[in-house]
Amino acid sequence: MSVFEVDSAFEAGSVAVADWPLCHVRLQNDGRFPWLILIPRAAGAVEFEDLSADDRARLMEEVVAAGRVDRALGVLMGRPVDKLNTAALGNVTAQLHVHVVGRRRDDPLWPDPVWGRPGAAPHQLETLNRLIETVKRSPV
């Protein structure tokens, strides 16, 4: 792959919301958690080692920004975040991507990870639109 394209597998569960300096940013449509997915715009990247060190440092800063956004989304959802969970797995969809998920001690999966577990329920449309607008307006 020589041109960056978002793997179509992301479309099933998430919506495109922003493009930050390095990453394409998606909101996972799961009403249980504020949850962003960062996809570095680097064609063919699968592991962190496929990025330059400069891009890796940039990715880390965008992960921190995504955590701040998750905290804001959690407040909007009436469920302020207790702990951030960050992961780059790629076992199902190999394209390099980082999940940044806001967790609460009383959320339905705590303290387990959220990946590979059933129970996702989409946001109500009005909520989804408010969250998308908040991500779009958030500074990186």
Q: Which residues lie near its own copies (CB under 8 A)?
A: 46-49, 53, 56-57, 59-61, 63-64, 67-68, 83-92, 94, 103, 110-113, 115-116
Task: Give the nearer residue to its own copies in terms of CB position, either 9 or 133.
Answer: 9
Smallest gap from Cβ 90 to its own copies, in A, equals: 6
Distance, CA of 97 to CA of 30 (rounded, Å): 17
Task: Give the nearer residue to its own copies in terms of CB position, either 116 or 139.
Answer: 116
Tokens of 10: 């992301």
Give the number of other Cβ atoms within 10 Å of residue 122's Cβ: 12
Would you say 103 and 33 are in contact if contact means Cβ atoms under 8 Å apart? yes
Task: Give the nearer residue to its own copies in terms of CB position, either 37 or 132.
Answer: 37
Tokens of 47: 């592991």
Smallest gap from Cβ 13 to its own copies, in A, equals: 15
* Chain CA centroid to CA 11, Å: 13
